[in-house]
Structure 1
Amino acid sequence: MAAINTTTQIENNYDRFITELTALTRKYGVAIQSVGGVYLADERGEFDKVTYNADITSGDLYPNFPGN
């Protein structure tokens, strides 16, 4: 059974994600604008198999959650 993340763990993971996303933006010249489009995992490993559909012509980026 997966461990449940605490609010503090989720906040720390989010902060680390933003730090790495900032570095990726600077490295590749791609910035993401998202309003209300953030999903947070409640359990460790919950997003292990997530992939993304990205349509460069529309600028849309959608996560694929296997099994949903």
Structure 2
Amino acid sequence: MATTAPFTTHYDQFIAELTALTRKYGVAIQSVGGVILADAPGEFRNVTYRADISSGDLYPEFAEN
């Protein structure tokens, strides 16, 4: 897990955009300890999400390159 300044900036930008999406669509995410940070730029370029609305679960799926 990266903790360098560029990744902190990316995390802060992500939170700002997530806030905007929450306000736009009326969907909020509650997560405790569920954040995964990329170790390198582009590492998550193929990520998708599996969402189960009946349980409220949201899982990232990391495709192999």
Match in the other structure for 2:60: 63
**2:26 matches 1:29:** yes
Q: What is the one-letter code of the residue matched to 2:61?
A: N
Identical counterparts, % of pairs? 70
Alignment size in residue pairs: 63
Please show how residues 1-68 of structure 1 align to structure 2 within 5 Å: 7-67=4-64
Q: CA-atom RMSD, angstroms?
A: 1.2
TM-score, length-scaled by structure 2? 0.93
Which ranges of structure 2 fall in alignment gaps of 5 or more residues?
A: none
TM-score, length-scaled by structure 1? 0.89
Which ranges of structure 1 fall in alignment gaps of 5 or more residues?
A: none
Q: RCO greater where, 1 or 2, for CA within 8 Å and sep 6 or more?
A: 1
